[in-house]
Amino acid sequence: MIKVEVRLFAYFRQGRGKTQIMEVEEGTTIADILKALDIEEEEVAIMLLNGSDGSSDRQVEDGDVVSLFPPVGGG
């Protein structure tokens, strides 16, 4: 098992909190983390792995930080 920090922003925090430390299996992808958090991939506007933008099929490693942002509206 490895530990990954997941940072949630805006309404993703509702019922989940701001930051979570998750223990996951080696080979886990960001898509797997989204599924575990019950967040649809289509709901995510920006997903960062250690500060770099990319796709949900990237595997996480011990100590990684995943940041998830929903679309933000405003005017």
Q: pTM (2 decimals)?
A: 0.91
pLDDT tens digits, one per residue of 32-56: 999 999 999 999 999 999 999 989 9
Report the mean per-residue pLDDT for the chain: 94
Residue 54 lies in a domain: yes
Amino acid at 15: G
pLDDT tens digits, one per residue of 64-73: 999 999 997 6
Domain holding 9: CATH number? 3.10.20.30
Residue 24 lies in a domain: yes
Residue 75 has pLDDT above 80, yes or no: no
Q: How many domains in the chain? A: 1
The domain containing residue 13 runs over which residues?
2-69
In angstroms, the CA 35 to CA 39 distance is 6
